[in-house]
């Protein structure tokens, strides 16, 4: 029985509008992906780490991991697909799993997740009848549902959270559902917990962290640089 971290770093980073893919951009002189992986290497509850990256970036990923992280806990680098669904499908189906393994799927572009949040996700998974848990933070803005350019609804804000990662699951259940979803052509689902929701599995949530944001735009990268700078003071 083990706890596996699956780091999804196969995105194109098109919104960053830079020639270098965002997971390899540097934050305070360190590649973002390396910063993320090191957080899971440091965590005492995580046993193994796998990284998913585009096939054309495997050699670059290996170089970054070797230079910054070494091989401790890192068991493999897996070729991703064209979509997040394909990438995580590739990852979860290629890992050799035991019945009681747990898996945490985390965005490679979230380089500020705390040790306590990783611990909390793992601990929740070991509670009775819990097979899926995600972190989330309260939504600050009023959210509107639209159809084209028409406003068609305003969901109650107290019923909404912004989902984060790492999202934790019973590994074999998640693998089985990914295989089923692939057969059912459900590849448009936007995150891993949506898979459990679709097939009527309960998903729990715990309070996430404001600092655990996803670096997506140039503005996010600037905030990330400042966050590291402030953290070193």
| 143-183 tens-digit pLDDT | 999 999 999 999 999 999 999 999 999 999 999 999 999 99
Confidence tier at 232 by pLDDT (50, 70, 90): low
pLDDT at 103: 98
**pLDDT at residue 11 greater than cutoff 90:** no
Q: Which of 70, 57, 52, 69 is nearest to 20 (CA)?
A: 57
Instruction: Report d(CA 53, CA 23) in Å as an integer.
Output: 9
**pLDDT at residue 231 greater than cutoff 80:** no
193 contacts 134 by C-beta, under 8 angstroms: yes
Confidence tier at 233 by pLDDT (50, 70, 90): very low
| 48-90 tens-digit pLDDT | 999 999 999 999 999 999 999 987 899 999 999 989 999 999 9
| 81-120 tens-digit pLDDT | 989 999 999 999 999 999 899 999 999 999 999 999 999 9
Q: Is the dihedral of CA 12, 210, 166, 76 positive or negative?
A: positive
Percent of the residues in the chain that have a pLDDT greater than 90, as a whole number = 86
Residue ranges of domains in the chain? 3-136+163-228
- Dump strand ranges (E) for 9-155: 26-27, 30-31, 48-53, 74-79, 102-107, 132-138, 145-147, 150-153
Return mean pLDDT, the chain.
93
Instruction: Report d(CA 154, CA 12) in Å as an integer.
Output: 32
Side-chain-side CA neighbours of residue 160 (13 Å)? 12
Instruction: Report d(CA 106, CA 84) in Å as an integer.
Output: 12
Number of alpha helices (DSSP H) and beta strands (DSSP E) in the chain: 7, 12
Instruction: Report d(CA 30, CA 154) in Å as an integer.
Output: 41
CATH fit for domain 3-136+163-228, picks 3.40.50.1000, 3.40.50.720, 3.90.550.10, 3.10.20.70: 3.90.550.10
**Local structure of 95: helix, strand or coil:** coil
Q: How far is CA 179 from CA 119, 130, 173, 182, 195, in A?
A: 28, 21, 10, 5, 11
Query: What pTM was computed for the model?
Result: 0.94
């Amino acid at each position: 029985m083990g706890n596996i971290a699956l780091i999804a770093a196969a995105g194109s980073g098109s919104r960053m509008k830079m020639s270098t893919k965002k997971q390899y951009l540097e934050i305070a002189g360190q590649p973002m992906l390396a910063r993320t992986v090191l957080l899971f290497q440091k965590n005492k509850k995580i046993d193994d780490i796998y990284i998913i990256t585009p096939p054309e970036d495997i050699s670059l990923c290996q170089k970054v991991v070797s230079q910054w992280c070494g091989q401790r806990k890192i068991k493999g680098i897996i070729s991703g697909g064209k979509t997040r669904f394909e990438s995580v499908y590739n990852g979860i189906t290629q890992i050799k799993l035991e019945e009681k393994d747990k898996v945490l799927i985390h965005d490679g572009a979230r380089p500020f997740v705390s040790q306590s949040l990783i611990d909390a996700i793992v601990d929740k998974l070991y509670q009775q009848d819990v097979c899926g848990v995600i972190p989330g933070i309260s939504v600050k803005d009023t959210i509107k549902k639209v159809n084209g350019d028409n406003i068609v609804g305003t969901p109650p804000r107290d019923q909404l959270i912004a989902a984060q990662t790492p999202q934790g699951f019973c590994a074999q259940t998640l693998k089985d559902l990914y295989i089923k979803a692939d057969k059912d052509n459900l590849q448009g689902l936007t995150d891993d917990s949506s898979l459990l929701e679709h097939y009527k599995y309960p998903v729990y949530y715990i309070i996430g962290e404001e600092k655990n944001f996803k670096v997506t735009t140039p503005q996010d990268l600037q905030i990330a640089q400042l966050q590291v700078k402030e953290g070193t003071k």
